[in-house]
Structure 1
């Protein structure tokens, strides 16, 4: 399904979602939006991306960053859905992207909930970070490229247990994601094309 950005239910932080200073809850348990503190002048800007001690108080457990990764993607690249066994803090540094998160954890109270985030450094989008708890399904769709996507994780890639990882189809009918790019225009990896659906993974949930 293809949809325009203006018709999407884009996430917006608000006072009723506020958990702590600059930290906001979402419709997915374990997914948080962290607002930036930005200071601008004639040189450009300085931004505090995240205060980890404040985040740890909200999630009630340590978040110790062990690896920092960056992906660089051209326009129309779509990556996902990846549900992986590590907690991560992500942000878009350059470009404009739609990040769609879905709760594909079968035992979660918010199973099948989804959120749409328009991420960019402009005033028309969100310029903050997302804290994504382990095994929440993550995707990113590049609207204006290139997009540089930074993600900090609490497990080394070489050491992590991948047995619980899953790759869910971007076009899973039960998620029914409204993508702003036509499927035929998307640039998708072979890995992300060879994914499965939630009904095949968890038939007992349907």
Structure 2
């Protein structure tokens, strides 16, 4: 596996080693020892989640707060998405900055989103199956969110706003200045 640091400290793009032959392919999608050695921190995943969405669906920007904060290891099993991680750590030099990467079943890339980040994705293909591991259990009272179109973050989703499919909950998320604090 190739671990590529992003401009956001602790956030990595992970490219698996893919072994191809006439039968198809094999890849190791996760190895705790390799993972922890390369991100230089201890992360123990406790929950796996999966979603299926249609083209234009935007999910996010979501995070969990306090003792229920979550790190995530995300990937796409089918289709293609634009995956976005936003640094919301208040004392971080990259607070309010984001990293965006195309994840697809074809490129098999993954993104490690550490605690203290908001996360979201936009489906670029006709449909997509999105899969992610979390290092903490979901807790409804600890949910946080930031508006997908926050002007200070200024994410380039590459889609016309009228073509986006957004839940009512995500349509009314606050901007980063008024969002629930992560810590």
Determine if contact 1:90/1:150 at 8 Å carries over to the other structure: yes
Determine if contact 2:55/2:123 at 8 Å carries over to the other structure: yes
Per the alignment, residue 73 of structure 2 pairs with 89
For 1:130, which of 111, 125, 131 is the aligned residue?
111
Determine if contact 2:146/2:179 at 8 Å carries over to the other structure: no
Per the alignment, residue 100 of structure 2 pairs with 116
**107-116 vs 131-140, greater mean Cα deviation:** 107-116
Query: Normalising to structure 2: TM-score of the pair?
Result: 0.88
Unpaired runs of 5+ residues, structure 1, are 1-20
Query: Normalising to structure 1: TM-score of the pair?
Result: 0.79
Helix, strand or coil at the partner of 2:119:
strand
Q: CA RMSD in A?
A: 1.8
Per the alignment, residue 78 of structure 1 pairs with 58
Q: How far is 1:161 from its partner?
A: 7.7
Helix, strand or coil at the partner of 1:112:
coil
Q: How far is 1:142 from its partner?
A: 0.4
Aligned pair count reads 176
Which runs of structure 2 are paired with 1:1-206 in the superposition (5 Å)? 22-84=2-64, 85-122=69-106, 126-157=107-138, 160=139, 162-163=141-142, 165-201=143-179
Q: How far is 1:61 from its partner?
A: 3.3
Helix, strand or coil at the partner of 1:166:
strand
Unpaired runs of 5+ residues, structure 2, are none
